[in-house]
Structure 1
């Protein structure tokens, strides 16, 4: 990479905060940023009963300005299982609804460290299971129209939810979209098997230290971090998974593990499409709509969802 370009990109590196101590400050900052300026969107809030009946999982339903298809995108947000929520992801979900023409349901799963693994995973599983069993609750004509989507830690949760649905013999999604997902447990540049951890773990949007903090908050027991329900790349059986679109970012430390997971899914007999967005940083799904990285990703997403230029306008043609 051009040294000058590298220096400029380093300005966008993640803040050097101790996530283990400052996660509450990060949450508040994310909400403030998401509210400036206030996004225009059509949405309604919903409460999904948990499977054990002891709490309800909040969700926000985003309607597109123009509905182009019957698919319902069930979205699990990123933030290292520690930050992120309905409010901070509202701009991204409103954009997702408009640029795909789909209803988007954003799941406000419980966060660590207040609720460590597997609390957040269980919330995502409960919502996905309910909507796949009763798709009409989401306004979908049938379960084939329920698409699991997640970015970063949310992409990890989408992967694990799909594994659990198959393992428990329950109806699974037919399609899933994972954006720069967490798939492995080791992000130490000295021991990680992935070059992107060494090449992109210090200077850009997400750092090795930040990922390590997230893991320590989400899964305090180091041995459990190798479990397939935390690091799905460790799963011994990846058969029977939904048709998958996996999008990675070139300058993201998670790039190689995400692409490795895509290859592992394909080797297990699943239909997989992997697309790398060149020049993109981690978290680009939250960028403004004029972002090249965002536009490229939605071109690929719309094609995956069955969109064609003859039937619907391209993302560039949407407001």
Structure 2
């Protein structure tokens, strides 16, 4: 569905009163919890479990396709600016994902900032990947990382971290409108920040607020595990699918990350979804943009390395 004048006006009105995320993140977090209770559990197959990570446990929820079978794994990291969101708020998304991709979807409830700033959430995602990829009964080729927005950032950073630590190998990753850069102010080099940063729900100010809450120190802004596009060496990365949205302030940095990965010798596919807004992946699968997104993802997942 194209964005016409009426829709543009509505989006602008919704984006106008940009709340101060830094002061009101708990209100937003509680609103997400209140409006995304896990009431759908009886209608699809899930298993809740805990992964041991030393001094704390990492909750995960596993979603399976409708039919019994031995399916490969999508290890999913949710969006929410590293500050909001949880496995409950993405349960319907993950249930649809399992059904539409014929994969087991493992949703990771990583720790959130600012109570647990960078790199706490990343380390949780890393431990979850390590737990599944190094299991004797699971072939590493059967595990694909996937994340949207902040979750896409975590997936990209995890792949860089896995190359550095050499404890396991990631074969594929799907990054859906990922955050990859550290500047979303008027100094940003990316046109999408300036064109789409005020009137399309996710604003540049909101991104800056989320990153401010996520960081543990000002130096984090220069850390490639915080902003993967800053990495000087992008070689030996997984086969990568990057999906961006036309009216998203994060559009250009996501596409630039794909180009840099490709220049470093990696196999990369980049798709821009026409008329897409940031967050469209959470809409019902009947929406044209979501249906297209799954078509692209399934083609990518079916390819033999």
TM-score (norm 1): 0.89
**Are residues 224 and 132 of structure 1, via their aligned partners in 2, closer, same or farther at CA, if it must alter by over 3 Å?**
same
> 2:148 matched to 1:145?
no
Name the structure 1 match of 2:82.
81
Name the structure 2 match of 1:21.
23
Name the structure 1 match of 2:177.
180
CA–CA separation in structure 2 for the residues paired with 1:205 and 1:95: 24
**Are residues 86 and 70 of structure 1, via their aligned partners in 2, closer, same or farther at CA, if it must alter by over 3 Å?**
same
Contact 2:16 2:198 in 1 (8 A): no
* Cα drift, residue 290 of structure 1: 1.3
* Cα drift, residue 18 of structure 1: 1.5
Number of residues paired by the alignment? 300
5+ long unaligned stretches in structure 2 = none
CA–CA separation in structure 1 for the residues paired with 2:289 and 2:173: 20
Contact 1:67 1:102 in 2 (8 A): no
**Are residues 15 and 58 of structure 1, via their aligned partners in 2, closer, same or farther at CA, if it must alter by over 3 Å?**
farther
What is the SS of the residue equivalent to 2:110? coil
5+ long unaligned stretches in structure 1 = 308-319
* Cα drift, residue 83 of structure 1: 0.4
Name the structure 1 match of 2:130.
129
CA–CA separation in structure 2 for the residues paired with 1:302 and 1:279: 21
Contact 2:38 2:88 in 1 (8 A): no
What is the SS of the residue equivalent to 1:171? coil
What is the SS of the residue equivalent to 2:277? coil
Name the structure 2 match of 1:42.
45
Name the structure 1 match of 2:12.
10
What is the SS of the residue equivalent to 2:32? helix
Name the structure 2 match of 1:215.
211
Matches within 5 A, 1:1-319: 3-11=5-13, 13=15, 16-35=18-37, 38=40, 40-50=43-53, 53-66=54-67, 70-134=71-135, 136=137, 140=138, 142-188=139-185, 190-306=186-302
What is the SS of the residue equivalent to 2:234? coil
Name the structure 2 match of 1:315.
none
TM-score (norm 2): 0.93
What is the SS of the residue equivalent to 2:174? strand
List structure 1 segments (4+ residues) > 2 angstroms apart after TM superposition. 1-6, 8-16, 31-40, 66-70, 220-223
**Are residues 193 and 289 of structure 1, via their aligned partners in 2, closer, same or farther at CA, if it must alter by over 3 Å?**
same
Contact 2:38 2:91 in 1 (8 A): no
What is the SS of the residue equivalent to 1:279? strand
CA–CA separation in structure 2 for the residues paired with 1:84 and 1:135: 31
**Are residues 159 and 207 of structure 1, via their aligned partners in 2, closer, same or farther at CA, if it must alter by over 3 Å?**
same
